[in-house]
Amino acid sequence: MLRTRAAQGNALAQNNLGLLYDLGDGVPQDYAVARQWYEQAAAQNHAAAQFNLGLLYANGHGVPQDYAMAREWYEKAAAQGRANALYALGELYAHGQGVPQDFAKARQWYEKAAAQGSADARGWFEKAAAQGNTNAQFYLGSLYEKGDGVPRNYAEATKWYEKAAARGDADAQFSLGLRYAQGYSVPQDYAKARQWYEKAAARGYAMAQYKLGQLYHFALGVPQNYAEATKWYEKAAAQGDADAQFSLGLMYAIGDGVPQDDVRAYMWWSLAVAHSTDNKQRSTATQRDGALTRRMTPAQIAEAQRLAQQCEAQGLKGC
């Protein structure tokens, strides 16, 4: 049946027939015949066949070992989200097979494979995490948090975030701060949230700086302190964080802790519009172009627009 359907051009049958010859399953093992069937299926963009061809070249089965050809076929399969091809590309870069050894690129491919549910890639992260690799520890935590390729497990996510955070990983520090602020699988604790946000913020992590600003702005676990809120919002805003830019606009529009200033409010909201997308962009534009614009003179609007342009030209420094 497979021969008939393969001869009729069915890519799945061609790949499966190739696999039988590849493994010697019910037929004499014959890599040359396997390759012929794989190639016919791969020509029809069959991802499994593309991956299987890559394996033949990587292992030198029926063809001269050729890692460049293996990578070419792996990349075709990976482009279709084939998890084992993503992992195989990671292996090539991890071991310097046909490419310069590059652990950063290896990790990128492993991450993509793990996100597709590859147990092999997840195993790599577990080994690297157990050896103290902070990137692996954070990524393993994110896999458990999202349930990507593993059952969702918030306790495991928190455990790995804590390991990475203790070693100075800003992503993990921010993630822990967010969990404690929201009471997300841990008791809500703004004091702990602030501690983790501060660690990430000290490393220049914009979202942590913005979240710190929120704690002081709205007295979440700390006394309300507009000066501190403004300080942290400005640090995040200078890095292009649209939420912080919006919050600064709000403070100037209302006069919270700063002199009420419609021109400065309009400027910050214009920057927030420029640095946000979709619904957030539309809602910020609506906020700016509503009551605020109606109470401003044309000269004030022109000045606010000039300041926003100047701020962008300066790379958001000194706004």
Kindly report, residue by residue over 100-134, the tens digit of the pLDDT: 988 778 878 888 888 787 877 777 778 778 888 88
Structure confidence by residue, pLDDT tens digits, 138-166: 888 888 888 876 788 888 899 999 999 99
Which pLDDT tens digit goes with each residue over 230-256? 999 999 999 999 999 999 999 999 999
Mean per-residue pLDDT, 20-25: 94
Instruction: Please tell me the predicted confidence (pLDDT) of residue 2.
Output: 87
pLDDT at 222: 96
- How high is the pLDDT of residue 161? 93
Which DSSP letter does residue 10 get? -
Q: What share of the chain is helix, strand, coil (3-state, %, to 5)?
A: 70, 0, 30
d(CA 119, CA 157): 17
Q: What is the pLDDT of residue 149?
A: 67
Please provide the average confidence, as pLDDT, over all residues in the chain: 92
Q: How far is CA 17 from the centre of its chain?
A: 38
Residue 43 has pLDDT above 80, yes or no: yes
pLDDT in tens, 181-226: 999 888 999 999 999 999 999 999 999 999 999 999 999 999 999 9
Contact status, residue 276 vs residue 244, Cβ threshold 8 Å:
no
Alpha-carbon span 232 to 170, nearest angstrom:
16
Alpha-carbon dihedral angle through residues 253, 254, 257, 262, given to the nearest 10 degrees: 30
Give the rounded percent of residues in the chain with a pLDDT score beyond 70.
100
